[in-house]
């Protein structure tokens, strides 16, 4: 548990809870995507399920030292070698239940669900049970732990729970059985019912320092330049940065064959990586800023690259929604655009840009950049509100073009 990087406050919060011996039955781990919430949840469960946990003073924890706790505070971590720890590592521990939207494939026998939300079928099937006459399911929450160290349930992307699923869970949280612990992982705690939040211990996770993200990427084989750029573009999300770096082309012929034009085009699209997206996008932004291009080209570029992003998402998760994956792609591209504007502003005010995105445009007036950033944030809000992607991009890029007219 102490080997998790970049979250000292969250780890200190959990260590204090473990040390007290009075763990809350329900937790919410809230923070940006890809910053270690799920990994920490599993590590906490592993610690509490361990047969021979290791306890040592904070001063002796080495790299796991937590500056927010006294040096004589006794930290607890799993041994990593007992039968329980090995079972957790292999995903076979009978008292650790990982719940995700993808489990709908096991609970919706019709096979029609796309797994875009956490449905009541998943929550009932994995946690609360179902006592209806036509579909009885035993509640795992109320079963005795098999190793007598409690039962842990970790719900990933808990904000995707549908209202019926949340209400089903809420009933169980009102009188949780002793020795049962629930952790909800979310980037949007506001999507959870206030009554669920009020019954939960909330642990906040922060965006990771760029150096932590860059170091992890370099350990995966990224160059220093690639690692630093991805760390910046990811906004401190190691999960997102690793996902971008680890993406592989989906079409890799085993031998040279004659491939149709359509197949070639699809292969080229799918093999596009984040560095190519950034280069293409910033080149179009450069053209727009210097009057060599227009908003239509920018809107088309964002849309095309968002669809390429969606193709990759669908390859990783066939149950994903194509529409939602495209929206996620648009949000990513809008983030890249915001980084480009941020560089123009930093250059204007003389602030150092350690890892700039590629651009031939040096600086832009502060008032124009501030307005363009405001337009971009508005687009993100509308995207979350389910605005039509095509219309949104047309309106947003037109507003950017109008704001930038005569700026360079």
Measured CA to CA, the distance from residue 170 to residue 195 in angstroms comes to 8
- Are 76 and 193 part of one and the same domain? yes
- Report the pLDDT value the prediction gives residue 334, as an integer from 0 to 100: 96
The pLDDT of 322-332, averaged and rounded, is 92
With 90 as the cut, is the pLDDT of residue 135 above it?
no
Q: Is residue 181 part of a domain?
A: yes
The pLDDT of 338-354, averaged and rounded, is 91
Query: DSSP 3-state assignment of 186?
Result: strand
> Residue 329: which of 294, 299, 304 has the closest Cα?
304
Q: Is residue 355 part of a domain?
A: yes
Q: Is residue 250 part of a domain?
A: no
Q: Is residue 183 part of a domain?
A: yes
Other beta carbons within 10 angstroms of residue 187's beta carbon come to 18
Q: Is residue 57 part of a domain?
A: yes
- Are 193 and 324 part of one and the same domain? no
Please identify, among 154, 174, 204, the residue that sits at the C-terminal boundary of a domain.
204
- Are 177 and 298 part of one and the same domain? no
- Report the pLDDT value the prediction gives residue 214, as an integer from 0 to 100: 94
The pLDDT of 200-204, averaged and rounded, is 96
- Are 38 and 178 part of one and the same domain? yes
- Are 68 and 153 part of one and the same domain? yes
- Report the pLDDT value the prediction gives residue 321, as an integer from 0 to 100: 79
Domain encompassing residue 53: 8-204
- Are 167 and 278 part of one and the same domain? no
Domain count, the chain: 2
With 90 as the cut, is the pLDDT of residue 352 above it?
no
- Report the pLDDT value the prediction gives residue 112, as an integer from 0 to 100: 62
- Are 59 and 129 part of one and the same domain? yes
With 80 as the cut, is the pLDDT of residue 373 above it?
yes
Q: Is residue 2 part of a domain?
A: no
- Mean pLDDT of all residues belonging to the chain: 87
- Are 169 and 49 part of one and the same domain? yes
Q: Is residue 249 part of a domain?
A: no
- Are 81 and 198 part of one and the same domain? yes
The pLDDT of 171-183, averaged and rounded, is 90
pLDDT band for position 300 (cuts 50, 70, 90): very high
Cβ atoms of 99 and 127 closer than 8 Å:
yes
The pLDDT of 33-53, averaged and rounded, is 95
- Report the pLDDT value the prediction gives residue 113, as an integer from 0 to 100: 67
- Are 276 and 397 part of one and the same domain? yes
The pLDDT of 23-37, averaged and rounded, is 95
pLDDT band for position 159 (cuts 50, 70, 90): very high
- Are 321 and 186 part of one and the same domain? no
DSSP secondary structure code for residue 101 in this structure = G
Residue percentage of the chain with pLDDT more than 90: 65
Element (H, E) at 337: helix 322-349
- Report the pLDDT value the prediction gives residue 176, as an integer from 0 to 100: 85
**Cβ within 8 Å of residue 27, ≥6 positions away:** 41, 181, 182, 183, 184, 200, 201, 202, 203
pLDDT band for position 104 (cuts 50, 70, 90): confident
Looking up residue 158, the CATH number of its domain turns out to be 3.40.50.300
- Are 273 and 166 part of one and the same domain? no
Element (H, E) at 180: strand 180-186
With 70 as the cut, is the pLDDT of residue 249 above it?
no
Q: Is residue 237 part of a domain?
A: no
User: Can you name the residues that pair with 201 across neighbouring β-strands?
Assistant: 27
């Amino acid at each position: 548990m102490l080997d998790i990087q970049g979250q000292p406050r969250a780890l200190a919060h959990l260590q204090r809870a473990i040390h007290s011996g009075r763990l809350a039955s329900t937790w919410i781990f809230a923070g940006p995507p890809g910053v270690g919430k799920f990994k920490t949840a599993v590590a906490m469960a592993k610690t509490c399920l361990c047969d021979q946990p290791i306890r040592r003073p904070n001063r002796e924890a080495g790299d796991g030292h937590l500056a927010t706790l006294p040096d004589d505070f006794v930290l607890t971590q799993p041994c990593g070698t007992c039968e329980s720890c090995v079972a957790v590592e292999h995903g076979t521990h009978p008292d650790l239940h990982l719940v995700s939207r993808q489990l709908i494939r096991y609970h919706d026998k019709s096979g029609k669900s796309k797994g875009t939300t956490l449905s009541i079928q998943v929550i009932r099937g994995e946690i609360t049970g179902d006592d209806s006459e036509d579909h009885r399911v035993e509640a795992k929450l109320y079963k005795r732990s098999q190793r007598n160290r409690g039962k842990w349930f970790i719900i990933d992307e808990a904000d995707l729970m549908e209202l019926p699923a949340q209400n089903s869970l809420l009933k169980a949280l009102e009188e949780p059985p002793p020795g049962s612990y629930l952790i909800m992982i979310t980037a949007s705690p506001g999507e959870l019912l206030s009554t669920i939040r009020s019954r939960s211990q909330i642990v906040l996770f922060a965006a990771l320092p760029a150096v932590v993200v860059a170091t992890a990427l370099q350990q995966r084989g990224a160059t220093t330049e690639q690692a630093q750029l991805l760390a910046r573009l990811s906004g401190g999300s190691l999960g997102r940065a690793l996902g971008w770096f680890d993406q592989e082309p989906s079409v890799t012929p085993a031998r040279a064959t004659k491939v149709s034009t359509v197949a070639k085009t699809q292969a080229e699209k799918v093999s596009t990586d984040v560095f190519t997206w950034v280069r293409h996008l910033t080149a179009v932004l450069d053209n727009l800023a210097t009057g060599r291009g227009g908003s239509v080209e920018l809107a088309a570029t964002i849309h095309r690259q968002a669809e390429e992003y969606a193709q990759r998402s669908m390859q990783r998760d066939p149950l994903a929604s194509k529409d939602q994956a495209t929206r996620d792609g648009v949000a990513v591209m809008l983030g890249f655009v915001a980084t480009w504007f941020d560089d123009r502003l930093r250059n204007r005010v003389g602030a150092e840009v350690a890892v700039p995105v590629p651009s031939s445009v040096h600086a832009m007036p502060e008032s124009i950049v501030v307005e363009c950033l405001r337009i971009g944030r508005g687009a993100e809000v509308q995207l979350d509100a389910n605005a039509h992607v095509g219309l949104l991009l047309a309106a947003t890029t037109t507003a950017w073009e109008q704001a930038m007219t005569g700026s360079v």
